[in-house]
Amino acid sequence: MRLLEKIACIIFLVGLLLKLIPYSGGIFVITLATMLLSVYYLLFGFLMFNGIIVKNMFSKEAHAGTSAIKIIIAVLAGFVVSPAVIAVPFTMVHWPGEHVVWHINVVLCGLLCLISLLVMLAAGTPIARRIFYRTLSVVLLLLLFHYIIVFPAYNHPQNY
C-alpha cells in the first residue's frame, strides 16, 4: 500500500468513526477520502499497478520492464477501480442512484477481480496480484456497506 493510499484509508476511518458517533461532518470526511483515493487510482493507477514509484515516473529505467499492454491493462484497471471507490459513500448515505452505481461497480470490479485472479494463478504476474488485491478490497468494502453495515437514511419519511 502506497503512502497516499494509507493516508486516504486513515482519513476514511476517521470519517467512519465520525459517522458512527453521529457527527455531522462524518460523511464529508468519508467523501473527501474516497475522492482522494479515486483521483489517485484514476491518474496514477498505471504507475501503481505496474509497481512504479511516482517520483520515477519520467525515468526510462522505471519503465524498462513494462510493456505497452501492461500499461493499458493498468490504465483500464484504474478506470474500473476509481468509480468503485466513489460508490462507497453513495452506498453509505443512500444518495440518489445508489443502487445503479453499486450494481455497476460491483459487477465491473468482480469481473476485473476474477480475471486478475485467473491470470495471477496461471502466470503469477505482479500486476495481476496488485490488481486482484485492490479490486478485492474495493468489492469487499462495497459488499460490507451494502449488506452488513447499513446506516439509516436520514431525512427519509419512513424513518419518522
Asked if 78 contacts 47 with a C-beta cutoff of 8 angstroms, the reply is no
Contacts for 154-158 with beta carbons within 8 Å, 24 or more apart? 156/94
Q: Note down pLDDT in tens along the chain; length 160 residues.
A: 678 888 988 999 999 888 888 778 888 999 999 999 999 989 888 888 888 877 777 877 777 778 888 888 889 999 999 999 999 888 888 888 888 998 999 999 999 999 999 998 998 888 899 999 989 998 998 888 888 877 766 655 554 4
Residue type, 2: R
Which helix (H) or strand (E) element contains residue 133? helix 126-143
Residue 85, number of CB atoms within 10 A of its CB: 27
- CA 61 remoteness from chain centre: 28
In whole angstroms, what is the distance from residue 110 CA to residue 145 CA?
A: 16
Please state, in angstroms and rounded to a whole number, the distance separating the CA atoms of residues 150 and 148: 6
